Amino acid sequence: MYEILRVEELAPKIKLFEVYAPEIAEKARPGQFIIVIINEKGERVPLTIAGYDAKKGSITFVFNEVGKTTRQLGLLKKGESIWNITGPLGNPSEIRNFGKVLCVAGGVMIAPMLLQVKALQEAGNTVVTVMGARIKELLFFKDEMRALSHRLYVATDDGSEGFKGLDFLKEVLAEEKFDRCVAMGPVPMLQRVCELTKPYKIPTVVTLMPIMVDGMGMCGVCRVSVGGQMKFGCVDGPEFDGHLVDFDQLIKRQRMYLPEERLSALLWELGGCGCGGE
């Protein structure tokens, strides 16, 4: 059992959990993820690590309350526990002085990007950050990100704050030279970023979170086509060369269980939390 030390609502339906997990905290590095199981009947959900504190023995992660599991997770309070957490999983990010790095984050992945930006900045990079969300209400960590970035751009899908969409990057990329781009967020966003950086041949690393079951190399459901080769998101990734990823296939694979996910969430809504109480 893993005790929840802190719960923070960062934006509507976006929560941050700090959890006591000393063995994971000691080992975690930027770019890695954990598998969370809320109870005996729960699924194994991969979530990117957004922070760790070895001294305190804690890790933090941020999630969007969209499906049954994440909504159940969102109901847990400080002092309550999560049934099982396995990690850290996946390969850590490559962190060194690349020079000038463009970091693009969207949605809940803004949280692990903050960790990444901090590590890149400490390694001596000049970090230009773009953070985006669907609407301005879903943006969080703006001040923290600004403090760590050489420059911060904000974008929303509807233009309610900052730029509308990512098209503004065309100009930025035309004017400035970047040595590396790191992108974390929804797959369509990653795809767009890669389209934008490709003409400038900027090495672009994307974090992929395909559907996973075990998350440690057993099931192969997280397979992605990278440069025509079959790779496993969990053991070969989660970071890949974005210019080689077959995003169209990835998007289709991520939607494989959409009907079941909807059914599961709907039944849960109708039947309450399933614990028999309340």
The answer to the question of residue 231 lying near other proteins (CB under 8 A) is no
Cβ 189 to other proteins shortest distance, Å: 20
Q: Is 139 in the site for other proteins (CB under 8 A)?
A: no
Amino acid at 249: Q
CB-nearer residue toward other proteins: 188 or 217? 217
Measured from the CB atom, is 97 or 249 closer to other proteins? 249
Does residue 136 bind other proteins (CB under 8 A)?
no
CA distance 48 to 32: 6
Q: Going by C-beta distance under 8 Å and a sequence separation of 6 or more, which residues neighbour residue 57? A: 20, 21, 22, 25, 26
Residue 261 in the binding site for other proteins (CB under 8 A)? yes
- Alpha-carbon gap, residue 19 to 82, rounded angstroms: 9
Alpha-carbon distances of 223 from 3, 35, 215, 236, rounded to whole Å: 32, 17, 11, 10
User: Which of these ranges, 104-112, 159-167, 189-197, 222-230, lies near other proteins under the rule CB under 8 A?
Assistant: 222-230
Size, binding site for other proteins by CB under 8 A:
43
Give the residue, chosen from 48, 69, 156, 197, that forms a contact with other proteins under the rule CB under 8 A: 69
Q: Give the CA count within 13 Å in the CB-facing half-sphere of 83.
A: 13
Supply the minimum distance, in Å, between the C-beta of residue 256 and other proteins.
5
Can you say how many angstroms the Cα of residue 57 is from the centroid of all Cα atoms in its chain?
21
Site mask for other proteins (CB under 8 A), range 2-31, x = bound: ---------------------xx--x----
Find the binding residues for other proteins in span 234-253 (CB under 8 A): 235, 249, 252-253
Q: What is the CA radius of gyration of the chain?
A: 18
Among 88, 112, 132, 237, which residue interacts with other proteins (rule: CB under 8 A)?
A: 88
Instruction: State which of positions 37-66 bind other proteins (CB under 8 A).
Output: 37, 41-44
Rounded CA gap, 53 and 165, in Å? 34
Helix axes 258-271, 68-75, angle to 10 degrees: 40
CA 89, distance to chain mean position in Å, is 14
Choice from 3, 7, 71, 84 touching other proteins (CB under 8 A): 84
CB–CB of 153/196 below 8 Å? no
Binding site for other proteins (CB under 8 A): 23-24, 27, 35, 37, 41-44, 68-69, 83-89, 213-214, 216-221, 223, 225, 230, 232, 235, 249, 252-253, 255-257, 260-261, 263-264, 267-268
